[in-house]
Structure 1
Amino acid sequence: MKTIRMKVKGRVQGVGFRYMTKMVADQIGVFGIVQNEADGSVYIEANGDSDKIDLFIAKIKQSPTPSGRVENLQLEEDASIKIRNKFSVTN
């Protein structure tokens, strides 16, 4: 089990980024949350098998939505992140 948090910056709000992130997570089989932040970034927490998390990270780096653009991605592994059993879009 791998647990991560990401802060994604770029053209990530107003382009369907959160909903496409959920779709990618559901297809891969990872769980967590995605939400918009006040500074224009998107915050993601995810947990799942290590291989699935690595694939999820790669898909997010490429932007899950065609009209989005990831310019910066901060990634941190953190074992204290709450383990979830579904992927949700919040706020």
Structure 2
Amino acid sequence: MATDVANQLMDIDNTTDPSTRSIKEQKAADMIKASYGEVKFGKNSLGKTTVSLEKDNKIILQMDSDNGNKLIDILNSFNSYDELKSYLTELGVNV
């Protein structure tokens, strides 16, 4: 799912038509469960498209289209969920 959202983010970043962009933003937002928070799109100071996940008026997660490429590369480097889980555990993330 993370790679799907990252791919959508990069696609949105390359979309110049406001109407088409709005439709793509809604499609990407629909991929994220509402219970996680509110999905918002914008542009950062470098002009890259950003997606933010906000809950209780706090940004929980924010990613721009450049980070989307990096996330996909990282996730594709694992051969299985167990490898990813071990990596996250090493980083101190409870999974």
TM-score > 0.5 by shorter chain: no
State the TM-score, normalizing by the size of structure 2. Answer: 0.35
- Relative to its length, the structure with more helix (as a share) is 2
The TM-score, its normalising length taken from structure 1, stands at 0.36
Choose 1 or 2 for highest CA Rg. 2
Structure richer in strand, relative to its length = 1
Larger RCO (CA within 8 A; separation ≥ 6): 1
